[in-house]
Amino acid sequence: VPPVAQRADSTNQLSPELQLIAEITAGLNAQQKIISSKFFYDSVGSDLFDQICDLPEYYPYLTEMNMLPHIASDLSQSIVQPVELVEFGAGSLTKIRILLESIKMIKSVVPIDIAHSHLQRAADKLSADYPHVNVAPIFADFTQPVSLQNKGKNQDELVKLGFFPGSTIGNFNRDFALTFLQRLRKTLGDSGMLLIGVDTKKSLHTLHQAYNDSAGVTAKFNLNILRHVNHIAASNFDLDAFEHYAFYNPHFGRIEMHLVSKIEQSVHINGQSIPFAQGETIHTENSYKYRPDEFIHLARMAGWRLEQQWMASNDMFSVFLLHA
């Protein structure tokens, strides 16, 4: 196979598989090497993420899960027309279930996730448990525009309720977060709503512990991206030659996750040899944290109106309902 072109603007003529390889290769040729956090989520990575959610240190999941029954009960009062719930990055569909328990107006569910087999399994289970709800999964990278055409049953009559929990928006830099929220505003339409979970700024210690858990699950999750890349691109990353490094960067208001090369080495990918100095890093994830006023400003810039907001009792996590 000839090496895939590296110029970003030449990648879209390639097959989907080669596009991914081209994207990864381009990131590894950058000054600060980078692999997009969407590559965390193969089946193994999705399972590891579920394990992160079981950690006592990983407060975003626990806090939002504790808020959701209350939020769902509020929404069951205010949502009076039949809706289609569209979740971006739906994972194991655990949170959707809490909404379905209370909000009887949800007639159709469209979960979108990049991890195909993981989502297929979760969607089959959901559909078996809620036989009266139409479940129509989309296997896609939701950071790219996704068309909802012809998905749900009678979807034209249903108001769309977007669901973007877990502070996944935190993976995007400010520019892309704005672009993405604008795109959702279009995708969900003029009667659309968006329920979005956003992690807050808080004590550095709490933030640090959440991404440096004592059981080492986050480290495994981070390193798994290299195994996934080896699978996609037939590269030869040695997982033992890198180590997990996560820290809060107050200047950018974000957690950064990196993989640090323990040694000087080269890695083969896509017909190239990528050199690593000892201590050089691959940046694998940003997780931006927002004060409520910062997020509300961003949502307004993207064309949304704030309808309702919820804050965890300890200010650890926030959830917003936006209307078009």
Using CB under 6 A as the criterion, which residues of the chain lie in contact with ligand AVJ when the complex forms? 52, 60, 166-168, 170-171, 211, 218, 285, 287
**168 or 261: CB nearest ligand AVJ:** 168
How far apart CA 148 and CA 160 sit, in angstroms, is 10
Provide the β-strand partners of residue 62: none
**82 or 253: CB nearest ligand AVJ:** 253
**152 or 317: CB nearest ligand AVJ:** 317
CB of 283 to ligand AVJ, least distance (A): 13
**158 or 169: CB nearest ligand AVJ:** 169
**126 or 217: CB nearest ligand AVJ:** 217
Lookup: tokens for 53: 């959610």
By the 8 A CB rule, do 159 and 84 touch? yes
**27 or 152: CB nearest ligand AVJ:** 27
CB of 13 to ligand AVJ, least distance (A): 30
Closest CA to 240 of 228, 230, 226: 226
**171 or 270: CB nearest ligand AVJ:** 171
By the 8 A CB rule, do 103 and 79 touch? yes
CB of 94 to ligand AVJ, least distance (A): 13
Q: What residue spans of the chain are helical by DSSP H?
A: 16-28, 43-53, 59-78, 94-102, 116-129, 174-188, 204-210, 217-233, 292-301
**40 or 269: CB nearest ligand AVJ:** 40
Report the residue count for the chain.
324
Taking CB atoms, the residue at the shortest distance from ligand AVJ is 287
CB of 215 to ligand AVJ, least distance (A): 12
How far apart CA 271 and CA 279 sit, in angstroms, is 24
Q: What residue spans of 189-216 are helical by DSSP H?
A: 204-210
How far apart CA 104 and CA 192 sit, in angstroms, is 18
CB of 52 to ligand AVJ, least distance (A): 5
CB of 181 to ligand AVJ, least distance (A): 16
Q: What residue spans of 54-190 are helical by DSSP H?
A: 59-78, 94-102, 116-129, 174-188
CB of 170 to ligand AVJ, least distance (A): 5
How far apart CA 284 and CA 163 sit, in angstroms, is 24
CB of 218 to ligand AVJ, least distance (A): 5
Q: How buried is 94 (Cβ within 10 angstroms: 0-12 exposed, 13-18 middle, 19+ buried)? A: middle
Alpha-carbon torsion 158, 169, 70, 120, what sign?
Answer: positive
